[in-house]
Amino acid sequence: MSFSNEEDLQRLQKILAQAGIASRRKAEELIKEGRVTLNGKVVTELGTKADPDHDYIKVDGRPLKRGETTELIYIALHKPDNVVSTASDPQRRKTVLDLLEGLKTRVFPVGRLDYHSTGLILLTNDGELANAITAAKSHIPKTYMAKTKGSLSPEEEEQFRNGVPVSGIRTAPAGLRLVRRGDNPWYEVRLIEGRNQQIRIMFKHFGHLVEKLRRISIGDVELGNLKPGEFRFLEPHEVKGLQRMSRPPKVAKDEVAPSELTLARRAVAPRRPAAKRQTPKAVAKAAENAAPKAPAKRANPSPARRSGPPTKRSGGPSVKRTGGPGVKRTGGTGPKRTGGPGRDR
């Protein structure tokens, strides 16, 4: 029992999630399984509250350090084939945590990928965000590339998008786009749900097996150029994007909240290609190219050199040509123009 002030108390599952032990949902399972003790007593009630700065909390016999603040980190990992997406495995198979070499902070996977599925998986010690991402009401889209044995007909594609029955419950609307044709085509699939082997079951509903399945994005976080087994830390704008997408949409007082079906269809709608980010140097160069340029000055052509004696100019300041149609040469060393008070060479 905690003797702290009421305002200092927090739910036990929230404390575990903030300490990076597990997501809030997983922390609730730990409590119900009797694996958590509070001040020496086993706790199984989810409503139990504690003070993280003064109470003694243990998980599986390991104490939580009181008053310890853990830096929140967010990781994107390319999960290879034949790797489980859990923190531990009773069969002692390789887990995604085994791929985080050199990472000292304890993290846990957000959601999961099937054993033979590959691609993007997020890991963090932020239990609040992990719980928000995996919550059914968050509607954060997840995009996959699926290679199937055989193609869907146009009618089947439309049924796929509208949802198919899985275990007696129709799936939420999904995005579907044929990327590469052939006997074994590739499809891009966008889901807002995370049922066990959902994409494989949906294609199997139409008689097609999924040969390869790779997740390429979660919200605005993309797999990018990560190779299988590699990981990277998320950029701040990626974390903010996940936090924004995990919050329910704001609705004005005089507006009607959109239905779950409408929100699902919005989430899986085809995305517009993101604008390419430009460096300040590239922006300055583009502005310079767009600015109007002054016409270039034409250089005066140098006069051609003439052979023979220098030219003698006579008469007025301007040249006036009169008389015959052309030049008349008369036995001199140079051309002589006749007829009028023009030049005499």
* Residues 166 and 194 sit within 8 Å (Cβ to Cβ): no
State the average pLDDT for the chain: 80
Q: Is 14 in a helix, a strand, or coil? A: helix
* pLDDT over threshold 60, residue 192: yes
The predicted structure's pLDDT at residue 17: 78
Chain segment 147-159, per-residue pLDDT in tens? 999 999 999 999 9
Residues taking part in catalysis: 114
Residue 247: phi, psi to the nearest 5? -85, 145
Q: How far apart are CA 216 and CA 118, in angstroms?
A: 9
pTM above 0.85? no
Q: What average pLDDT score do residues 235-260 get? A: 74
Q: What average pLDDT score do residues 231-251 get? A: 86
* Residues 324 and 339 sit within 8 Å (Cβ to Cβ): yes
HEC secondary structure over 83-145: CECCCCCCCCCCEHHHHCCCCCCCCEEECCCCCCCEEEEEEECCHHHHHHHHCHHHCCCEEEE
* pLDDT over threshold 80, residue 281: no
* pLDDT over threshold 90, residue 266: no
Percent of residues, the chain, with pLDDT higher than 90:
41
Q: How far apart are CA 345 and CA 334, in angstroms?
A: 7
- Please report, for residues 32, 198, 216, 223, 263, the alpha-carbon distance to residue 120 in angstroms, rounded to integers and kept in the order given: 30, 16, 6, 5, 24
The predicted structure's pLDDT at residue 196: 87
Per-residue DSSP letters for 226-295?
PPTT-EEEPPHHHHHHHHHHHSPPP--TTSPPPPHHHHHHHHTSPPPPPPPP--HHHHHHHHHHHS--PP
Per-residue pLDDT band for 131 (boundaries 50, 70, 90) equals: confident
Q: How far apart are CA 174 and CA 319, in angstroms?
A: 86
* pLDDT over threshold 80, residue 29: yes
* pLDDT over threshold 60, residue 59: yes
The predicted structure's pLDDT at residue 16: 84
Q: How far apart are CA 112 and CA 97, in angstroms?
A: 12
Q: What average pLDDT score do residues 164-173 get? A: 90
* pLDDT over threshold 80, residue 109: yes
The predicted structure's pLDDT at residue 253: 55
Six-digit token pair at 297?
A: 């000055």
Query: Domains in the chain, start-ordered, CATH in brackets?
Result: 6-63 (3.10.290.10), 71-248+259-270 (3.30.2350.10)
Q: In which region does residue 181 sit, left (phi positive, over 0), alpha (psi from -120 to 50) or beta (all else)?
A: beta
Q: What average pLDDT score do residues 200-220 get? A: 95
Q: What average pLDDT score do residues 277-306 get? A: 61
The answer to whether the Cα torsion of 318, 321, 327, 332 is positive or negative is negative
Interior/surface letters 160-169, b for 16+ CB within 10 angstroms, e for the rest: bbebbebeee
Chain segment 309-334, per-residue pLDDT in tens? 555 555 555 545 555 554 455 555 55
Chain segment 69-108, per-residue pLDDT in tens? 568 899 999 999 999 998 888 899 999 999 998 888 888 8
Per-residue pLDDT band for 272 (boundaries 50, 70, 90) equals: low
Our CA angle for 219, 189, 195, nearest 5°, is 80
The predicted structure's pLDDT at residue 305: 55
